Amino acid sequence: MYSECHSPGSSRAVAYNREPIVRMANTFLEPGDHSQEELLEDIKEGVYIKNFMEWNIDDRRFNQRYVGLEAYRIEDGELKDMLRNPVLEVTTVGLWSAVDAVGNDPQFQAAYCGKGDPMQAIPVWTGGPHIRLREVKLGGA
Amino acid sequence: MKTGEMPDHLVNLALKEGATDVAVKLVDKDEVVIRFANNEVTVSKAFREVLFDIFLLIGKHRAATAVPLSSKENLETEVRNLVKTAKITPPAEVYAPLPQGPFEYDPRLTKGSRISLEPDRLTGYVEEAINGALDAGAKKVAGTLVATRATVSLSTSGQVHVTEKKAGLEMSVRAFASDIASGHWVSISRGEKGLEPGEAGRKAGEIAKASSHPRRGEPGKFTALLGPMVFADLVNQVGMASSAFLVDIGQSFLAEKMDSEVASSEFRLIDDPTVADSFGAKAFDDEGVPTKRNTIVDRGVLKTYLHNSTTAKKFRKETTGNAGLFSPRPWNLMVGSGEKSFEELLAEVDKGIYVTNNWYLRYQNHRTGDFSTIPRDGMFLIRRGEISSCIRELRISDNMLRVMRNITELDRSHSWIKWWEVVVPTLAPCAVVEDVSFTKSSM
């Protein structure tokens, strides 16, 4: 089923000999108004996942998993000792519904978006601020 | 100057400019890609690509580039710039001269196979695939057919001047019985004779039909019956992790495991690009060394890493004919099959999960082999030796060495697999693996 709408101009190809695919380009989470300190200070017991290693997502883009690489325990609003490989295994709805605060500190990075078969890996610019998730179960089920 | 004469010319130019070793590979490729969706062809493209891969050494200093077909003057400028780049590049740990030829190559491998790029003929294969899936019960069918013909010429400063003809067909079929009931299968072949588009469609369609009305699976440790699509992905990981370069930089779970048990005694993994009628057949590696059959794992024991001349020097071994100028890599992986049929394997599983396909295998830790991957398309609960129901939304979250060591049996039949997820052509059977960890989203 196709909706009656105009193209937002999101179609790109990696080369002249590959067909354009609807895909991300400069994609980032809009910053909020919390400083990193403000995000931390309300957390009595939590985990700060600074970056991640393993990740994957299913073909409906619904079930996803991220495993923290550099991560710390949070206690009474302060960063404590490092944690090894916290696992966030969550649905898309579960992930974004748990966001209760968004930072004002966006950071960006060059990356690749992979799509298509044969594969088209295309450069993208992506990033966002810190986000805080409430009542998230870490460790997978 | 003819394009085919350029590799020798560029090698000589680079030597004159100060390089100690040079390899120039010319790939002249014709490719047709036919994509299909909703039971019909949606796009068909034909194009030609000519690419020069240029690699050179100045002792321990290395540089490489890839340049599309251009004028002689432009290519010469690229070579001169590459020499300058190498001169300011930090030195590598070791200097290994490119292997010295001339070598003898297997003519069965260099002459290649013949395939047609005629659109009507290729579209016919697509129709066979679509009809195969529809006849098996699918409602919608999508996928890709890629047909490739290429001439690969390699010249090196080690007296290598060789040309290889290559051809291949890759059919990937995804069938849907509903929006959430799907199946996937592939067929790859070096020639038209070996392509089985109807069979690929049939298998995809059968899985899709059996996947109707899936329910959410429950996590836990289960006996897993891994279909060839899934097992080929795991085998790919073992094959790629056997690259001595990845071992050297600490990115392989096979590091420090030489002559150790890395898999069940049922498991035997061979990289053999000398099988002339197989998709991954290849006469020479990127250093011009003739390829050969290498047994990577024999009865569960790691027997060799894959080497180019640089890693071989560092590990004090001989090259295995798997260059990769920077990182050695497998060409054509084959797993020894078992003795039982799929039905016999299934009948022996009391409580388990049959996984037909997966994607996004990603590592938590390359060195330890901790990973996860997401099953997709048909996934089924097994109860008392029979498939009892279709499930979804589970993830395999385990460790590569533990999975390989927990293989208990392999199917006696096997399929050649290569697609988006499985990069190296791999001949894989079904595998029964005990105690595989399945997880699911917590919220």
DSSP letter, residue A31 = P
The phi, psi pair for B131, rounded to 5°, reads -65, -35
**Tokens 């009305």 sit at which residue?**
B213
Q: Which residues of B touch A118 (CB under 8 A)?
A: 33, 144, 146
Q: Which pLDDT belongs to residue A101? A: 97
Q: Which residues of B touch A19 (CB under 8 A)?
A: 35, 43, 45
Taking 50 as the pLDDT cut, the residues of chain A under it are 141
The β-bridge partners of A107 are A128
Distance from the Cα of A54 to chain B's closest Cα (Å) equals: 4
Q: Which of B202, B176, B173 is nearest to B186 (CA)?
A: B173
pTM of the full structure: 0.95
Q: In chain A, which residue's Cα lies nearest the Cα of B146?
A: A118
Q: Which pLDDT belongs to residue A15? A: 84
Q: Which of B284, B305, B309, B286 is nearest to B296 (CA)?
A: B305
Q: In chain B, which residue's Cα lies nearest the Cα of A137?
A: B442
Contact criterion met (CB below 8 Å) for B433 and B408: yes
- Cβ contacts of residue B39 below 8 Å, gap of 6+? B130, B134, B140, B141
Rounded to whole angstroms, the Cα distance separating B240 from B424 reads: 9
Q: Which pLDDT belongs to residue A140? A: 57
The β-bridge partners of B56 are B22, B63
A109 touches chain B (CB under 8 A): no
Q: Between A and B, how many residue pairs show a Cβ–Cβ distance under 8 A?
A: 93
Q: Which pLDDT belongs to residue B98? A: 98
A1 touches chain B (CB under 8 A): no
A62 touches chain B (CB under 8 A): yes
Q: Which pLDDT belongs to residue A37? A: 95
DSSP letter, residue B290 = B
Taking 50 as the pLDDT cut, the residues of chain B under it are none
Q: Which pLDDT belongs to residue A28? A: 94
Q: In chain B, which residue's Cα lies nearest the Cα of A87?
A: B364
The phi, psi pair for B55, rounded to 5°, reads -130, 135
Angle at CA B257, nearest 5°, toward B256 and B260? 145
* Chain-chain contact of B362 with A54 (C-beta, under 8 angstroms): yes
B74 touches chain A (CB under 8 A): no
* Chain-chain contact of A90 with B45 (C-beta, under 8 angstroms): no
Q: Which of A109, A111, A119 is nearest to A21 (CA)?
A: A119
Rounded to whole angstroms, the Cα distance separating A119 from B68 reads: 19
pLDDT digits (tens, 9 = 90+) for B331-365: 999 999 899 999 999 999 999 999 999 999 999 99
Is there a cis peptide before residue B197, judged by omega within 30 degrees of 0? no
Q: Which residues of B touch A119 (CB under 8 A)?
A: 420
Q: Which of B206, B194, B47, B39 is nearest to B114 (CA)?
A: B194
Rounded to whole angstroms, the Cα distance separating B438 from B103 reads: 49
Q: Which pLDDT belongs to residue B234? A: 98
Domains within chain B, CATH numbers bracketed: 3-210 (3.30.2290.10), 215-439 (no CATH)
